[in-house]
Chain A
């Protein structure tokens, strides 16, 4: 009985947190969609941990809880792999942008007297943490 309370509360909290992140525009829809789907699938399991028991037994797994644990690990693995892939892609994009900026700057310095700081260091790029801006 206690397990049901803990898991159901956790499930609801996670769902609420995802919705809150979405509302504050801190999460892109494509990622939010994944997490919402996961949240919606997992939340009922919090209330009724035994609903997967029959499926688990058919797969040769002792209980529904074990099945959820196994599926969860696979899911987390896939999500982190996807994030690594996204990070690689983003790194390639920012790399190209940095190169482009350097090319443009060198051209402007040569032809139009783009101001160069006295110590020759690059001006600090503007930091932006908002996803939508």
Chain B
């Protein structure tokens, strides 16, 4: 419980047995009273056992579904157990849980809050085609969401109750869908998206793709994902969820009306 709200931290994990104990311990000390859920995305190592040993519930997928599938499972769990807020955190230690209170505070005025790099905090930099791709994405997504977004591919994000229900029913599974398309889908259905600057840490495991060819492929795929996200027909019943969200702007007073 934080400020009377039941908060769940979702950690999608695929073969993260090494880094997971550190991340879970940090969350438990930084954020007492917050529940965690490790989504074991068909790991072949001891990910699920390590999570249990470190006192976190686990949802274990029978085989690998990718980040999108793991995240929808996380949101389905959050919805099923009636959580008010769900926060997505990578289990490789890139995301610093001490920023969670700031994400929570921003949820007062938004349905989906992104923890963004390049927004003043930290010194995370990229260059070349990958930078252009990120620039293009932030320009286009800023227009779609009608707010300034600098880091659209960040997996550090917080959702309110309506957003949880939305993502429990609809979460893209394709490449980059978990970050870009999910945000576009939410915005197109009328949810409010905002960002909060955060500093990212060096990832403890794995390496980012750095070669120019890979970066160009990334740019192309990102463009395609974006295009598809823009033209895809959203299931109509999901739009009602956004309308059920608490109104942000104070309603204009009707003077003299009955």
User: Which residues of A does B touch, CB under 8 Å?
Assistant: 95, 98-99, 101-103, 105-106, 109-110, 116, 118-122, 125
Contact = CB atoms under 8 A, between A and B. Distances in A.
Which 6 pairs show the lowest CB-CB distances between chains A and B? A120-B49, A120-B48, A106-B59, A102-B59, A99-B73, A102-B61
B49 A103 contact: no
Given A106-B77, A120-B50, A121-B44, A99 B61 contact: yes
Given A116-B48, A122-B42, A103 B62 contact: no
Given A105-B60, A119-B49, A125-B62, 18 more contacts: A95-B65, A98-B65, A99-B61, A99-B76, A102-B59, A102-B60, A103-B76, A105-B59, A106-B59, A109-B57, A110-B57, A120-B46, A120-B49, A121-B43, A121-B44, A122-B60, A122-B62, A125-B63
Given A120-B52, A122-B42, A98 B69 contact: yes
A116 B72 CA distance: 23
Nearest to A125: B62
Contacts of A103: 59, 73, 76-77, 80
A102 B75 CA distance: 13
Contacts of B58: 106, 109
Contacts of B73: 99, 102-103
B192 interface: no
A80 to B, nearest CB: 20
Interface of B: 37, 39-40, 42-44, 46-52, 57-63, 65, 69, 72-73, 76-77, 80, 173
A98 B49 contact: no
A57 to B, nearest CB: 43
Contacts of B77: 103, 106
Contact of B48 (A99, A121, A125): A121
Contacts of B80: 103
Q: Which among A95, A98, A101, A106 has the greatest number of chain B C-beta atoms within 10 A?
A: A106
A128 to B, nearest CB: 14
A65 B100 CA distance: 69
Nearest to B37: A106
A100 to B, nearest CB: 8
A99 to B, nearest CB: 5
Given A106-B77, A122-B42, A101 B62 contact: yes
A120 B59 contact: no
Given A119-B46, A120-B47, A106 B69 contact: no
Nearest to A118: B49
Contact of B72 (A99, A109, A118): A99
A120 B43 CA distance: 9
A98 B63 contact: yes
Contact of B57 (A101, A106, A122): A106
8 contacts: A98-B63, A101-B62, A103-B73, A103-B77, A106-B77, A109-B57, A110-B57, A125-B63
B62 to A, nearest CB: 5
Contacts of A122: 40, 42, 48, 60-63
Nearest to B50: A120
A118 B44 CA distance: 13
B214 to A, nearest CB: 26
Q: Which among B42, B51, B59 has the greatest number of chain A C-beta atoms within 10 A?
A: B59
Nearest to A91: B173
B57 to A, nearest CB: 6
A99 B48 CA distance: 15
A82 B44 CA distance: 34
A36 to B, nearest CB: 35
